Every structure is written in structure tokens, then in C-alpha cells.
Chains A and B, each alone.
Chain A
Amino acid sequence: MDLLGFIIICVKVLVVFAATMFTVLALIYAERRISAFMQGRIGPNRVGPKGILQPIADGIKFLMKEDIIPASVDKPIFILAPAILLVPAMMTFAVIPFGSNITLFGREIPLQIADVNVGILYILALTSIGVYGIVLAGWSSNNKYSLLGGLRSAAQLISYELAMGLAVISIILLAGSLKLNDIVADQQGYFFSWNVVKQPVAFLIFLVATYAETNRLPFDLSEAEQELVGGYHTEYSSMKFAMFFMAEYANMITAAALTVTLFFGGWDVPLINEASLGMVGVLLSVISFILKMAFFLFLFIWVRWTFPRFRYDQLMKLGWKVMLPIALINIFITAGYLSITALV
């Protein structure tokens, strides 16, 4: 690898990291503002114009607060747990293509940090690592509520990962590749070539599973305030709590980006061939990716303030008895269709 290539990769990593952190901040603001709007309130509007500096004020508050480590916690794991949760959440974005190829310094640069040839599996593997953060946080807190929250969350993540993976398999079958770039390329063109049209069932299962994977309402049983105080982060304060907070939003961003990539054509702008337009095409593709992602992030918040929480047995029933069989049938039908068309 030459020096320029190395610099380019570093720049891409920095840009994506900064963008993710910025989006996390924007999301925290958006969450509060949108929830307020849906409840007939105004929401934070004091810090800065329209309150947009509110997340920064919150961040400063988190930094200034006393970092309490309760006496009877398991200290090393208690400190490690937020990091275990946050790092995979930030890492997952590495394989998501967020724009068409850009030509700079006489070389073609894909707008994606790493074009891993097992991209989807990489994401699924990393999201399954996030469970450790929650489970270990719950256990090390030495608190019944935290432990229950952690265990619930772990069971939930394992259950829904299956449905999610099976929904993704039908997409993999269509694209014939585990590379996210190939999956995006497979969906180029019109609206009808997007996977959401080809695989509506898989899309619905995937969407529901992402809500469970990110521990968002209606599946936020691991931090159900009414039953478990705060769940796994009951004992956390200050910056460690902020890390849990950031991890939740980072996971949301990844989930939204993944939904867009898998089902809504990624950075594809319908009816336009981005490659023939040069820089304008690149810009259009990035903007379309951001807009699609923003919609799904809005949907996350929208759903949170609309639906009540599931009961735990309902959650398990939905995951194992409804979504898993439907996903299997969907795979069967997709594979059958593909093999029949291959024969003909």
C-alpha cells in the first residue's frame, strides 16, 4: 500500500467517524425535539438558535458530572462495559458504502472505508458483540435490576439476530454476494429494482429486527423504566452513561444505513446514472444516501413515540414463532424462484 492510499483511508476513517459523532449529536437533539412535537410541546429551544446547541450543553454536563463507581461493583468490568458497547457500534459503519466512486488525484476512490468481501456478515458479527457490553454492564453493577436488564437484552438480541440474518439471506440470494457494494450495484436503476420492492417481507422482518437489535421502543425491554429502574445502566453516571447513550444512537445510525443499503438501493438515485455525471453524480449519491438514512432515523424516533412496549413473552413469541418461520418461508420461496429462473 502506498502513502497516498494510506492517507486517503485515514481521511475516510476520520470523515466517517466525525460524521457519525455529529449525527449522534444531531439525533439526540432530534429525538427530544420530535418527541416534544408529537406530544404538543416545543422541546429544547434555549441553548443556541432553536436549541441546536442543546446536545453540546448536555455533553459538557456529562463531562463535568461526578463519575460514581458504586462500592460493590466489579470494577474492571464495570469500566470496560460501556467501551465494549460503543466500539462495535462505531466500527460497523466501516463497510457501508455511502456514495458512488469519486475520482480524485487521478485515482478512483470508493466512498466506503473497507470493501470487505463478507460485508454483511461483518456487520452482523459486530452487532452480536455489542451484547457483551450490555450483559457485562448488567452483571458488574451487582444490582438485580441491572442483571435482569442485561439478561433480557442478551436473549432479545440473540433471538432477533436470527430473524435478521435470515431476512438478509434472501437479499444475499438475490445479489449473489456478501459484499455490500455488489448489493448496492444490484439495485441500481429504477425504484422497482430496489430490494424493498423485490423483497417486501424480508424488509418488514429486517426493519422490526433492527428495532429489537438497537433496543429501541417497542423493544426496549432491557431498560424498561417502569419495571427495571433503568435496566443495565442503572448504576452508571457521567461519561460512562453518556457512552451507553452514544452507543444506542450509533447503533441506530448503523441500522438505518444498513436498511438503506440493503433495501433502498444504498446511495442509488433512481433514474440517474451517477457514474456519468462526475462530481455532481457523486454529490447526488451521497445526498440521496443521507436523505434516505435521515428518513429511517426519523422513523426510529417516530415509532418510539407511537407504540407501547412489548411484554417479554410477546417479544419472544414474535421473534421465534412469527418472524423466524416467515423469514424461512421467504428464503425458501426466493431460492425456489431463483433456481427455477436459472433452469429456464
Chain B
Amino acid sequence: MYLSLLFYFIASIAVGSAIFVVLNRNAIYSAVSLVLCFFALAVLYLLLEAYFLAVLEIFIYAGAIMVLFLFAIMLLNLGREEALPRFMQLQRSLSLMLVLIFFFGIFLILFGSSEILDPPVEKFSGGGVYSLGEALFSKYLLPFEIASLLLLVGLIGTVYLAKRKI
């Protein structure tokens, strides 16, 4: 009972802050509310007893990536200006249509099955560090290595772009 109340409270924060990210025209405000959104998501993970995932959500998204975003916004001084141009009429109607289709799909799935409104969240052990590590280094070894290779490529590319003369 309490937990589901908490869930709706946190979920509304997550959705509200996500909407604020899109609607706000001040880039810094958007970034800050995105951080809030990440936090709300982390709490949702906590409610699912996926502690590791929750901490990683804060650690990586809120703690590292968004800080760099803020960095860029501040240094480019996008913050105060109304820098974003208004959308063209065509783009607006097109995006509206896409969003409607997307929501229609979600509603279709939602009301298609009766179980989904009260999701039976099973206590799964996937949130633990041990099981996650084991899965990553045995079953999903190849994707894991590919991802790390991708990151390495990205790293080298960044260094190359930032420092042309080596």
C-alpha cells in the first residue's frame, strides 16, 4: 500500500520533470530537471530492489554524464538565451503525429492485457552485483567486450579530435 503510493509519487515526479525538460526553453533548467528525472528513476529501481542499478543510474547518468552536459551548456553560454529556434509548421505537425502514434501503441498494449496495470514484479536476483557480474562475464561476454571496444574507440576518437597534433 505505502509502496504503491510511493511509486505513484515518484513516478509522477519522474514524468513531470521529464515533461519540464522538453518544455523549458532554458537549457540549464532542462538539464537540472533531467537530473531530477534520473533521481526519480533511481528511486523506482530501488522500489524494485535493484540497488546496484539504482546506484549506477545516479553514478553514471546523474553524476558523470549530466555534469559534462552542464559543463558544455555553461561554457557555450546557452543558458540564458532563447537559443532554440521555433519549429517549422510541418515539423510540428509531423512530430505531433508521431507522438500520437507512439502513445496509441502504448495504450493498445496497456489495455490489451489486464495484468500490466498491476505488474507482478518478481523478486529477481538480477539486481545483485554478483549475479550481474556473472552474467556479464559468462553469458553476455561477447556483447560486453564489444561494448568496451566501442568505448575504447570513442575514447581514442575524442583524444584525436581534441588534440590534432600528437
Contact = CB atoms under 8 A, between A and B. Distances in A.
Contacts of A135: 67, 70-71, 74
B137 to A, nearest CB: 13
Given A121-B59, A147-B74, A132 B35 contact: yes
B24 to A, nearest CB: 11
Interface residues of B, number: 23
A126 B62 CA distance: 10
A117 B55 CA distance: 11
B67 A118 contact: no
A118 B79 contact: no
A24 interface: no
Interface in A283-322: none
A209 interface: no
A16 interface: no
Contacts of A125: 55-56, 58-59, 62-63
B125 to A, nearest CB: 12
B129 interface: yes
29 contacts: A74-B28, A74-B79, A76-B29, A77-B29, A117-B51, A117-B128, A118-B52, A118-B55, A121-B55, A121-B56, A125-B58, A125-B63, A128-B58, A128-B62, A129-B63, A132-B67, A136-B28, A139-B70, A147-B74, A150-B74, A151-B71, A151-B74, A154-B70, A154-B71, A155-B71, A158-B64, A158-B67, A158-B68, A178-B129
Interface of A: 74, 76-77, 80, 116-118, 121-122, 124-126, 128-129, 131-132, 135-136, 139, 147, 150-151, 154-155, 158, 161, 178
Given A151-B71, A158-B67, 17 more contacts: A80-B32, A118-B51, A118-B52, A118-B55, A128-B59, A128-B62, A131-B67, A132-B35, A132-B70, A135-B67, A135-B74, A139-B28, A139-B70, A139-B74, A154-B67, A155-B71, A178-B129
